[in-house]
Amino acid sequence: MRLKSFARLSLLALWAAAGPAGGVSDLPAESRPVRYFGVHYLVGSRSDFDVLLGELPDAARIGVNLLILEVDYNFEFVSHPELRGESPVSRADAKKLASACRRLGVRLVPEFQSLGHQSWQGRTGPLLTAYPDLDETPGRHPGNKGIFSRSWCPSNPRVNEIVFDLYDELIDAFEADALHVGMDEVTAIGSAYCPRCRGKHPARLFAKAVNDAYDHVAGKRGKEMFMWADRLIDAAAIDYGEFEAAKNGTHRAVDRIPKGIVLCDWHYKKRKTYPSLPMFLAKGFRVLPASWNDPAAVRSLVEYSLETNSPAMLGHLCTLWLERAPGFSRAPQVKAAAALLTTKD
């Protein structure tokens, strides 16, 4: 099983499409492969991790060569043990997975969900439970009522002092050359209830959060940075719906962040076009489109992305949110992606 080659344009055209920072492959256009067939896997508990370890060989067999492992707080952090989740992954677990990924030719990129999604429904995550003063809406929304999810404050320097320690531990434990920093669906930003952020434009605050993370991940650590792309899409310009694009102005941050970031542009519904893909390419970003559980939507997104014929279109990422079960490599949506991304010879 290998990833498909696809190229119908000249290198010059590819360069023009990708822009100077687009990561043009040094391979001839005729032999350029789809770079990644990825899986995004959320570690909700230690048992999820065991399922993943068991399934990894099958995933690699169907062509998966990138694993975005969303760990968040579910790790035995040493720098901040108070922030460990209830069923954390150990350093030994991480080493075991890193070794298995190396053996199977799978690039392992841990993810730490940053800025938004610091609460989900009635539960607040470890950071804002331990340090409620770092909340963007401190003291508001008791029981998380009336808020989609909590954010940490991007203007409080104490956040980065803590969180970058967690980034470092994940990078080191998983022996990773990249980190995914999440940052999707951030709706609580620039709150009137935050003494540091009130009155500041959400795009400025979002760009600061991204740039701070990039300075640490890429600048200090020399690693590649991935993030979700939805906050960089203007919901007024592209009709993607409430969460797939930004309605609060954060999209303007797209012109204030480094082009070296890999943008994971997620779309879960079947559409004829996905205009954010060429938009990000035109701006000089590398893009990794991401899908979910509808095989027809997966096919639609993969086919549309491949038609861009850009070396900055890195492949495809299948997200597994509730599908973290043995045999996920045989899930219909994963098979749909494999059929388009790989060849059997």
The site for Zn ion (CB under 5 A) is made up of: 136, 153, 155, 194, 196-197
CB closer to Zn ion out of 78 and 192:
192
CB closer to Zn ion out of 151 and 291:
151
Give the nearest distance from C-beta 215 to Zn ion in angstroms.
Answer: 19
CB closer to Zn ion out of 195 and 327:
195
Give the nearest distance from C-beta 204 to Zn ion in angstroms.
Answer: 12
- Of 46, 164, 182, 68, the closest CA to residue 114 belongs to 182
Tracing tokens 């290998």 back to the chain, one arrives at: 2
CB closer to Zn ion out of 66 and 194:
194
Helix (H, G, I), strand (E, B) or coil at 274: coil
**Burial (CB count within 10 angstroms: exposed 0-12, middle 13-18, buried 19+), residue 31:** exposed
Taking the C-alpha atoms of residue 31 and residue 84, their distance in angstroms, rounded to an integer, is 45
Give the nearest distance from C-beta 140 to Zn ion in angstroms.
Answer: 12
CB closer to Zn ion out of 55 and 185:
185
Give the nearest distance from C-beta 156 to Zn ion in angstroms.
Answer: 6
Alpha helices in the chain (DSSP H): 11-18, 46-61, 91-104, 126-130, 157-173, 202-214, 276-282, 295-307, 332-341
Give the nearest distance from C-beta 244 to Zn ion in angstroms.
Answer: 25
DSSP characters for 112-175? EEESS-SEETTEEPHHHHH-GGGBSSTT-SGGGTT-S---B-TT-HHHHHHHHHHHHHHHHHTT
Give the nearest distance from C-beta 164 to Zn ion in angstroms.
Answer: 18
CB closer to Zn ion out of 209 and 290:
209
Q: Look up residue 179 and give its DSSP letter.
A: E
